[in-house]
Chain A
Amino acid sequence: MSVSALRTESPGAASPRGPQASSRRRNANRAHRREAAFGWLMISLSALTILVFTAAPIVFTFVLSFFSWDIISPPEFVGLQNFVHLSSDTAVIHSFGVTALLAVLIVVLQIVIGLAMAILVQQRVSTWARSIFRTAFFLPLLVSAASISIVFSYLFDDHFGVINYYLQVLGLPQMQWLSSPGGATATIVIVAVWQQLGFVFILFVAALGSLPKDVLEAVSIDGSGPIRTFFSIKLPLISPTIFFASVIGLINAMQIFDQPYVMTKGGPGDATTTTVMLIYRTAFQNIQFGYGSAISVVLFVVLLAITGLQFYISRKWVFYS
């Protein structure tokens, strides 16, 4: 009781004198120390698991990338050999190309369609319609990417798939969805966009909903049409959200694994073998932990560079009010 009561008055007090004051200061110190110990205790579990299972593995990945290791025999230091090998390994270079193509297509489509949907929903004022659409767009986010990839691999099957059936009914040419390189790429993009669109959509609905009403009213009184208002007023105002969605989207899409693993196994050939799929194969199927780590390091650095670049570019076009 007394300790805590004294503690509240001590911090601001200007150097009090006398034996009472020094014991008061000692009590205050003790309370501070107790609070510090309490703070460390409170963060210990989180900090420890994050340190051991996230921070240390980053360092460990870098270290491993200088070794050759099959987990059975002891690791062997090989210097930069993994990276030298990697720089001329067509499988690695190709996987980065595949991943970049998928990621750019996914992110651009997500943002364009997600923004279009948010604008459309904004204009339909009735709230019941809005909540129905919101639930519909949200539904795919609840399904695991693995499950949804199973579903879409049936829907897009070349022979008995529903998509090709309806293309035929409409008199359109049937597509080789999963058995041709272009078709497999398109299918993976469709599945990824379909699944994550709800996320982008909700971000944009929130951003459009928080635009300053007085500005929009003033603009509409000035006689600006809806299209012009959108491009010269709304778009700049929501540019931070577009930026956020593109950074998060690109980082996620560059790590794409579940959809190609389930739907195409990286094929046909290596047309949809993404970098993470290659890391998975190298490390966990060919048991090359050192080389797998070297590819991970390159992916890590590429992702870091993309994020940095996006932040740099954003200074030119993102408008923070």
Chain B
Amino acid sequence: MSTATKTQAGVAGAPRLRGSHVVTRKVWRGVGLVLLIIIAATFVLPILWTVSTSLRTPAESFSNPPQWFPLAPVWSNYSAVFEQVPLATFFLNSVIVTGLIVVLQLITSTMSGYAFALVRFRGKGAVFAMVLATMMVPAQTTIIPIFILIRYLGLSDNLWSLVVPAIGGAFGTFLMRQYFLQMPGELAEAGRVDGASNFQIFSRIYVPIALPPMATLAVLNFSAYWNEFFRPLIFLQSTNNFTLPVGLVSLQGNFGTGSISIVLAGVVVALIPSIAIFLLAQRYFVEGITAGSFR
């Protein structure tokens, strides 16, 4: 605060102010670092607590002070969560649903993004306008008709009820179109001269250079659908069809008065694939987040 007022006042006494600037800047940096460490700690501590409490005995899991570092880890919670609840089934269901959606949307979005960007045909402006308009639609407000549609398609309480509506994605189409728009059209002309068909130009020339945005789309979709809760909660009824988030929340009910360490073991199991993918593809996560923000 004082820095700002001093600078406003001082044109004449500039050299003296420079010196005080250096000192205040150092103080500010020290304060900033301490603040940063505190904030970073509040981010990491709940996850650390989750992991270490998942390794305490069920009887101890409630007791305070919490144990921040698992000095005597109890791994039995991890076998318990697989034996006492169908966590393996939840996990497999999540893998099937997320895997199918990620792969299918990668195919459909790359194809449609390419066509919207680089193929000339009448009517594509109107169709793309529809895609753009639906991108703004809040998903939760259209859940009732989708539920009814799912019922009529006979997909209630079926993993396909989550996959089929997500075969095509407006965001993915938009993301891929933006990428293909930046690419030179001459590549296609060169391919035509060489006698390549329309599809060969797409699959042999453009897809190989579009792998980075495809990776971005894949990690973003993985993260979104692996963690999805609202649709599975509504579309799935039997425990054997639950995906991880819905299954874990149902677990919370069963163990509400029992042990939290077993529930937390389930939370950790659900988190492992996300962290693995994040560590492998950190760059694509960050790119995906910033992609939307610059006009």
Which residue numbers of A lie inside 8 Å of B, CB to CB?
Answer: 1, 4-5, 7-8, 32, 34-40, 42-43, 45-58, 60-61, 64, 71, 113, 116-117, 120-121, 123-124, 132-133, 135-148, 150-155, 160, 162, 165, 169, 194, 197-199, 202-203, 206-207, 223-228, 240-241, 244-245, 248, 251, 254-255, 257-258, 261-262, 276, 279-280, 283-284, 289, 292-293, 296-297, 299-300, 303, 307
Contact = CB atoms under 8 A, between A and B. Distances in A.
Contacts of B236: none
A152 B252 CA distance: 12
B138 A42 contact: no
A203 B290 contact: yes
Interface string B64-103: 1110000000000000000000000000000000000000
B167 interface: yes
Contacts of A144: 226-229, 244-245, 270
Query: Do most interface residues of chain A lie in helix, strand or loop, or is the interface mixed?
Result: helix
29 contacts: A7-B192, A34-B198, A35-B120, A36-B120, A40-B123, A45-B108, A49-B108, A53-B146, A56-B145, A60-B148, A61-B142, A64-B144, A71-B148, A120-B33, A123-B29, A135-B282, A136-B43, A138-B278, A138-B282, A142-B271, A144-B227, A147-B248, A151-B267, A154-B260, A165-B64, A225-B6, A248-B292, A258-B229, A299-B141
Interface residues of B toward A: which range?
35 or more
Contacts of A141: 223, 285
Nearest to B264: A151
Contacts of A206: 290, 293
Given A8-B189, A50-B134, A151-B46, A121 B36 contact: yes
Interface of B: 1, 3-4, 6-8, 10-11, 14, 17, 21, 25, 28-29, 32-33, 35-36, 39-40, 42-44, 46-47, 49-50, 62-66, 107-109, 111-112, 114-116, 119-124, 127, 130-131, 133-134, 136-149, 151, 164-170, 172-173, 189, 192-193, 195-196, 198-199, 202, 223, 226-230, 233-234, 244-246, 248-249, 252, 260, 263-264, 267, 270-271, 274-275, 278, 282, 285-286, 289-290, 292-293, 295
B131 A50 contact: yes
Given A147-B270, A150-B252, A54 B4 contact: no
Nearest to A148: B46
- Among A139, A199, A303, find the residue whose CB has the most chain B CB atoms closer than 10 A: A139
Contacts of A42: 111-112, 114-115, 119, 202
Contact of A227 (B3, B145, B164, B173): B3
Contact of B28 (A71, A197, A226): A226
Contacts of B248: 146-147, 150
Contacts of B278: 138, 142
A43 B116 contact: yes
- Top 9 nearest A-B pairs (CB, nearest first) are A144-B227, A49-B168, A39-B121, A46-B168, A42-B115, A36-B121, A46-B112, A60-B145, A39-B119
A165 B65 contact: yes
Contacts of B289: 199, 202-203
B98 to A, nearest CB: 11
A197 B115 CA distance: 35
B254 to A, nearest CB: 12
Contacts of B7: 223-225, 228
- Among A150, A165, A169, A261, find the residue whose CB has the most chain B CB atoms closer than 10 A: A150
Nearest to A161: B64
B271 A57 contact: no
A45 B146 contact: no
Given A39-B121, A46-B108, A8 B193 contact: yes
Contacts of B170: 50, 54
B286 A57 contact: no
B274 A142 contact: yes
Contacts of B270: 144, 147
Contacts of A146: 227, 229, 245-246, 248-249
Nearest to A228: B4
A143 B270 CA distance: 8
- Among B127, B136, B149, B166, find the residue whose CB has the most chain A CB atoms closer than 10 A: B127
B29 A57 contact: no
Given A46-B109, A296-B144, A194 B32 contact: no
